[in-house]
Chain A
């Protein structure tokens, strides 16, 4: 299920499952959420989003602003396995990331 932290990162590609608009069955969908904290640098958070999700800077920046201004941002809606993978990657960078069942 898991990549060890020493394993080179192979992130899920930008396929359909990585598109937040794709329809996962509600019972199968989990949300990857990043929470605000007063310690992480804004540029650092933007960089992490770019690195983990392969996003362009503008999109990463938009989510970073959302975290900063609204307290959290929903970054992905994914299957449990992929959501866990993303949360783990974010936590490797020491961001406050959690997964939640999509209601």
Chain B
């Protein structure tokens, strides 16, 4: 996978077939509405803040629904093109697209992290996971990889002529 920031600010992302399958599978997984435990709520004795927290929880739920819808719409639209003579998929992502994808991959990572019981960093790297838990461990890693590639491209590496590139193979 390679990502590069273009002069107009958009990101150009190139994925091979396998990367594209994983990328679209993660988006589809999110669009299908992954079940996850409820996030912890922050209670506060201050009625003003409690009212704010209630509103914030509602807004966060609404935002998650809009991300789910956006992922489904994006997948349906088949927002890719294939460069000639290659099996690669090319995405051109606007700044807005990059932001919602970063949010989506992060939410998906957190969802799987919660499904795994909110392990700490050391436990995440352990190899004590059951077979049933492995898909969540892999999904977390893959979402993190896609986030990292997008962030590196946003931060300037991966520009034309930059040999450091952002090539990461899942």
Shortest C-beta distance, A82 to chain B (Å), equals: 12
* A-B contact number at CB 8 A: 72
Cα distance A47–B106 when bound, in Å?
A: 12
Cα distance A99–B46 when bound, in Å?
A: 11
Kindly identify, within residues 37 to 64 of chain A, every residue whose CB is under 8 Å from any CB belonging to chain B: 38-41, 43-44, 47, 51, 57
The SS class assigned to the A binding surface is mixed
Q: A44-B102, A94-B103, A99-B49 are contacts. A39–B63 as well, Cβ < 8 Å?
A: no
| Residues of chain A lying within 8 A (CB to CB) of residue B128 | none
Contact of A5 among B42, B48, B66 (CB under 8 A): B66
Residues of A near any B CB (own CB < 8 A)? 1-2, 4-6, 30, 38-41, 43-44, 47, 51, 57, 80, 84, 87-88, 91-94, 98-101
Residues of B near any A CB (own CB < 8 A)? 42, 44, 46, 48-49, 52-53, 55-56, 59-60, 62-63, 66, 99, 102-103, 106-107, 109-110, 113, 118-121, 124, 144, 147-148, 151-152, 154-155
